[in-house]
Amino acid sequence: MTETLRLSVNGIQREITAAPETPLLYALRNDLHLKGTRFGCGSGQCGACFVLIDGHAAPACDTPLWAVAGKAITTIEGLGEHTLSRAFVDEQAAQCGFCTSGILISAAALLGRNSKPTETEVRAALDRNLCRCGSHNRMVRAVLRAAQAER
């Protein structure tokens, strides 16, 4: 049965009419046309669909709409001109780019709670994000570069 749910997405109040158990990812991509959040595994295993929920990186594929009502959702589009974006370009930290938005979300969550992470902390923060292209080392360097730029 469908309901009208109110979501805060990238600082804007949105209404979605859907079954409450619908994955957040479907609402973002299909209803709100925010296509930067990717569909990878669909089961919470790859990180491609990560968004920030109240500042924490979480899989939108595995999060029902009822669970995010009243919470602040930030997608890759909502990060805007983040220092991380520049650092990822400078480090050439992507190949196909499919995983990149989820990785940027995990990195933004990390820098939101720890502005001076060590390399070990960056690696731990990105641990849930898979990259089939093997770009992890460059991504770690990019996150460290972004953290340095913000000091």
Which one among 5, 7, 24, 49 touches ligand FES, defined by CB under 6 A? 49
Binding positions for ligand FES, 112-151, rule CB under 6 A: 131-133, 135
Check residue 59 for interaction with ligand FES (CB under 6 A): yes
Minimum distance between the CB of residue 147 and ligand FES, rounded to whole angstroms? 21
Residue 13, H or E segment: strand 12-18
Distance in angstroms (rounded) separating the CA atoms of residues 151 and 146 = 9
Tell which one of 18, 42, 82, 138 touches ligand FES (CB under 6 A). Answer: 42
Residue 125 tokens read as: 């923060």
The answer to whether 48 contacts ligand FES (rule: CB under 6 A) is: yes
d(CA 151, CA 147): 7
Whole-angstrom distance, CA of residue 142 vs CA of residue 92? 8
- What is the contact mask toward ligand FES in residues 12 to 41, using x (rule: CB under 6 A)? ---------------------------xxx
Are the beta carbons of 92 and 117 closer than 8 angstroms?
no
What character string, x for contact with ligand FES (CB under 6 A) and - otherwise, covers 69-98? Answer: -------------------------xxxxx
Report the greatest alpha carbon distance in the chain: 50
Number of helices and strands in the chain (H, E)? 6, 5
40 vs 78, beta carbon nearer ligand FES: 40
Name the site residues for ligand FES (rule: CB under 6 A).
39-42, 44-49, 59, 61-62, 94-99, 131-133, 135
